[in-house]
């Protein structure tokens, strides 16, 4: 599979992942790794918390930043 962004730029680069948001194949240059805390556990007791890692293309990463959300309002 090849990177969608590189293809649009006239190059062929192997993809290293798929954007979690839009499903576009992305190379190492056009991918952003996003981490967030995920809480889990029962309603009784102390919940556990772990880090989740997802991949996003540059377009989706930009759209999901807090600064981008402020400009759309």
Q: Delimit the domains of the chain by residue range.
A: 4-71
CA 63/CA 17 separation, integer angstroms = 19
Summarised one tens digit per residue, pLDDT across range 12-71 is 999 999 999 999 999 999 999 989 888 887 777 777 888 899 999 999 999 988 765 454
Q: Is pLDDT at 73 greater than 70 in this prediction?
A: no
Token representation of residue 4: 């969608």
Average pLDDT over residues 5-15: 96
Quickly list H helices, the chain.
4-8, 58-63, 66-71
pLDDT at 4 over 90: yes
β-sheet bridge partners, residue 35: 53
pTM above 0.75, yes or no: no
């Amino acid at each position: 599979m090849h990177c969608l962004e590189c293809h649009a730029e006239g190059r062929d680069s192997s993809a290293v992942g798929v954007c979690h948001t839009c499903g576009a194949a992305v190379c190492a240059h056009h991918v952003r790794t996003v981490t967030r805390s995920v809480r889990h556990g029962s309603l009784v007791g102390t919940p556990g918390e772990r880090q989740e890692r997802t991949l996003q293309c540059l377009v989706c990463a930009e759209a999901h930043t807090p600064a981008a959300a402020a400009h759309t309002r």
